[in-house]
Amino acid sequence: MDARPEAPAPTYAQPKFVSGSLLRHILIMSGAGGVGLGAIFLSDLANIVFLSWLEDQAVLAAVGYASSILFFTISIGIGLAIASSALVSRALGARRRARACRLSVNAHLASLVLGSVTALFVFLAIPALLTLMGAMDRTHELAARYLYILTPSVPLLTVAMTSAAVLRAAGDARRAMNVTLYGAVVNTILDPIFIFGLGLGIDGAAWATVSARLAFLAVGLYGVIGVHRLIARPRLPAFVADTPAFTAIAVPAILTNVATPASNAYVTAAIAAHGDGAVAGWAIIGRIMPVAFGAIFALSASIGPIIGQNYGAGEGERMREAFKLALGVNVAFTAVAWIALALLSPSLVNAFGATGEAATLIRLFNLWLAPLFAFMGALFVVNAVFNTLSFPHYATLLNWGRATIGTIPLVHLGSWLAGAEGVLAAHLAGGILFGCLAVWLCLRLFDRLLKDQQPAQNPAY
Tens of pLDDT along 208-228?
989 988 998 999 999 999 888
What integer is the mean pLDDT of 128-145?
Answer: 84
How far CA 397 is from CA of 130, 246, 457, in Å, comes to 27, 19, 21
Rounded to two decimals, what is the model's pTM? 0.76
Of residues 177 and 41, more confidently modeled: 177
In this prediction, residue 65 carries a pLDDT of 80
Mean of per-residue pLDDT scores for the chain: 85
* Sign of the Cα pseudo-torsion (394, 398, 400, 401, in order): positive
DSSP 10: P
Residue type, 147: L
Of residues 395 and 246, more confidently modeled: 395
In this prediction, residue 112 carries a pLDDT of 92
Q: What is the Cα 355 distance to its own chain's centre?
A: 30
pLDDT-based confidence at residue 6 (cuts at 50, 70, 90) = very low
Residue type, 314: G
In this prediction, residue 8 carries a pLDDT of 38
In this prediction, residue 33 carries a pLDDT of 75
CA dist 149 and 208 (Å) reads 10
Q: Which residues contact 357 (CB under 8 A, 6 or more apart)?
A: 274, 275, 277, 278, 281, 420
For residue 385, which of 244, 249, 230 has the smallest C-alpha distance? 249
In this structure, the number of other CB atoms found within 10 A of the CB of residue 198 comes to: 13
CA dist 173 and 371 (Å) reads 27
Tens-digit pLDDT profile for residues 416-447: 999 999 999 999 998 999 999 999 999 999 88
**What is the C-alpha radius of gyration for the chain, rounded to an integer number of angstroms?**
22
pLDDT-based confidence at residue 78 (cuts at 50, 70, 90) = confident
Whole-number percent of the chain with pLDDT over 90: 36
Q: What are phi and psi for residue 187, nearest 5 degrees?
A: -60, -45
How far CA 155 is from CA of 168, 231, 274, 400, in Å, comes to 20, 19, 35, 25
For residue 191, which of 35, 48, 352, 37 has the smallest C-alpha distance? 48
- Whether 437 and 398 have beta carbons less than 8 Å apart is answered as yes
Residue type, 337: A
Q: What is the Cα 446 distance to its own chain's centre?
A: 25
Tens-digit pLDDT profile for residues 184-212: 888 888 988 998 888 888 888 889 989 98
CA dist 92 and 229 (Å) reads 13
Q: What is the Cα 66 distance to its own chain's centre?
A: 17
CA dist 361 and 383 (Å) reads 29
Tens-digit pLDDT profile for residues 368-386: 999 999 999 999 999 999 9
- Whether 64 and 140 have beta carbons less than 8 Å apart is answered as no
DSSP 314: T
How far CA 450 is from CA of 152, 310, 318, in Å, comes to 46, 13, 11
Q: Provide the angle, in degrees to the nearest 10, between the axes of the packed helices 294-313 and 22-52.
A: 150
Question: CA-based angle 186:192:197, to the nearest 5?
Answer: 120
Question: In the chain, what are the domain boundaries?
Answer: 27-451
What integer is the mean pLDDT of 92-110?
Answer: 89
Tens-digit pLDDT profile for residues 10-31: 444 467 888 889 999 999 888 8
Tens-digit pLDDT profile for residues 280-295: 888 889 878 888 898 8
CA dist 95 and 38 (Å) reads 32
Which stretch of 46-60, 91-105, 120-134 has the lowest confidence by average pLDDT?
46-60
pLDDT-based confidence at residue 40 (cuts at 50, 70, 90) = low
CA dist 446 and 385 (Å) reads 10
For residue 141, which of 93, 96, 189, 203 has the smallest C-alpha distance? 203
- Whether 73 and 122 have beta carbons less than 8 Å apart is answered as yes
What integer is the mean pLDDT of 146-158?
Answer: 91
Which stretch of 326-340, 344-358, 440-454 has the lowest confidence by average pLDDT?
440-454
* Sign of the Cα pseudo-torsion (303, 160, 289, 427, in order): negative
Residue 1 predicted with pLDDT over 70? no
Residue 458 predicted with pLDDT over 50? no
Residue type, 385: V
Q: Helix H segments across 134-274?
A: 137-150, 154-169, 173-192, 202-221, 236-272
